[in-house]
Chains A and B, each alone.
Chain A
């Protein structure tokens, strides 16, 4: 059998392509197969990849529900997100919360933010530390509730660390 693309060399690679539910068999020589796979890779952008990840997350029965979800603020639909791999605005995260949570977990191995938070008005440092602690404790609670035990252990260590720091008297910074 000769290669379907160049028609010159013997076909050694056999490929099944499904486009729009149409199955197509391709028999290719090594060289053409190589080109074909490079082509496929370049078409397989990040959007598809993320979309694919999102797809994987939900059982088929919920499919129609997810796809018809729409962000009330910017109008982006979940189907749009699956196609372009990007959300439309901050509110999309709320609108698609149910699906984004597991997706984040898949991408980052966690779905709980432990980094900095935007401080408003940059108040004095002492009360800020207390707020940090309260926030960490809240996060710990959330992590335990969502059974993210690895995260919880890490947060617990941070809570301990911060508590220790707060227990020490603040060095006098002068007037």
Chain B
């Protein structure tokens, strides 16, 4: 697989299918693992980093579940390529910012990605459309078992899998669910919900993980605690929380339809109108307007539109995707013009 092949492929997280897909965009499980014999990436010498990369890459090539994968060394990618992978949620922003002995391994379906020498030697994730953490966990678990057969992992019977940062020790597991919560935002209930989430030791982040702002009504919720509970129990506690948030969002959507129908229809239709007619548009505005259109589709306010078109627009209007499509670097003002052009083209009826 070549990096550019991904351009014609729908990201797993934007397929828009799976359980509760009107509210839950995607579910993701990631594990952090380290090789016992080597210092953690930030403390390793260049040579040790190279060795770690060599060991992991040779093992990955032999794992059955990872047959259809491609390895990309970050040193071989330019900044647009790297941002492209971040936009597709295949690697973290942090991973993209450094290049020494770092790699990312991606499967053809874009469900599995493995970061080599990120904060830990191995960080791998499985992504599923919709509300489906257990399905993601079952795949992650099998890959983990296969890797553990070949690699001597840093593990203590008392504290579990050892990681560079003590916040990941134990299971090394982070489960996260990406939610689209426009009605909770519009009814101004979101702050209350986010405060409750924080109190329960869960973390909320934006579309692009660590340190990013929530935008376009998208929220990523994940567990903070990784030690002292079994993986399945951690997932069950995330699921319990997510089920409650889904219910709250559904109630808020119903309340909006009941009490503010005209205002809601107005906002959805205006958003759709701007997207269909704008000639200059930023990526932030695009995400916000697409969020409204998506809500309109979910509630049947917009009917003559295929949901997959909207899902695709979320990703191809991102800065690196635009530049990949144009096959050249574009300045920010150039991108805003190009972005508007592509959106108009896709929404032409």
Contact = CB atoms under 8 A, between A and B. Distances in A.
Interface stretch (B7-15, B150-158, B179-187): B150-158
B114 to A, nearest CB: 17
Given A113-B158, A116-B171, A122 B229 contact: no
Nearest to B153: A118
B148 A119 contact: yes
Given A88-B39, A117-B155, A103 B230 contact: no
Contacts of B158: 111-113, 142
Give the secondary structure class of A's interface.
loop
A86 B165 contact: yes
Contacts of B40: 86-89
Contacts of B153: 118
A93 B170 contact: no
B148 A118 contact: yes
A76 interface: yes
Q: Which of A46, A88, A138, A158 has the most CB of B within 10 A?
A: A88
B228 A74 contact: no
Interface in A86-113: 86-90, 93, 100, 103-104, 107-113
Contact of A93 (B148, B149, B162, B201): B162
A87 B169 CA distance: 11
Given A90-B36, A122-B145, A113 B157 contact: yes
A86 B118 CA distance: 13
B240 interface: no
A87 B164 contact: yes
Interface in A39-96: 46, 50, 74, 76, 84-90, 93
A110 B155 contact: no
| SS class, residues of chain B in contact with chain A | loop
B127 interface: no
A86 B228 contact: no
B162 A74 contact: no
Contacts of A24: none
B206 interface: no
Contacts of A85: 165
A135 B230 CA distance: 14
B45 to A, nearest CB: 10
Given A84-B42, A107-B225, A111-B159, 16 more contacts: A46-B167, A50-B167, A74-B43, A86-B119, A87-B162, A89-B39, A89-B43, A90-B36, A104-B166, A108-B227, A109-B225, A116-B231, A117-B157, A118-B148, A120-B148, A158-B230
12 contacts: A50-B165, A87-B165, A88-B39, A90-B156, A104-B159, A104-B166, A107-B166, A113-B171, A115-B170, A116-B230, A116-B231, A121-B149
